[in-house]
Amino acid sequence: ASKIDAGVEVAELYVSRVLDDVRNILKLLRSEPKAIHLYTASPWKRDVARVVLARGVRDLLGDIGPAIREVVKASPERRREAA
């Protein structure tokens, strides 16, 4: 069995890419920012992204409604967030 945790590897790659993006944005700025704020999507939007990826992006191009309805149906507590 491998001692490398694939989830940790993916998370490390994600953080590395985010840092690269921040560095590239900083290169474009003319002044040094006082702070950098990173925002993440709410959990229900990540659920919708998972549905889209599972179904295939081409199936939902132009109409994300079916993926949102699927997430809300599976988790009714998400209904208010998705509205």
What are the average pLDDT values for consecutive 10-residue runs of the chain, which has 83 residues? 82 94 94 94 85 73 76 76 66
Helical H segments across the chain, by residue range = 6-28, 43-55, 57-60, 65-74, 79-82
Nearest partner of 66 among 43, 77, 82, judged by Cα: 82
Q: Round to whole Å and give the CA distance between 6 and 11.
A: 9
pLDDT value at residue 12: 93
Residue 56 backbone zone (phi > 0: left; psi -120 to 50: alpha; other: beta): left
CB atoms near residue 74 (< 10 Å): 10
pLDDT value at residue 58: 67
C-alpha Rg value of the chain to the nearest Å: 18
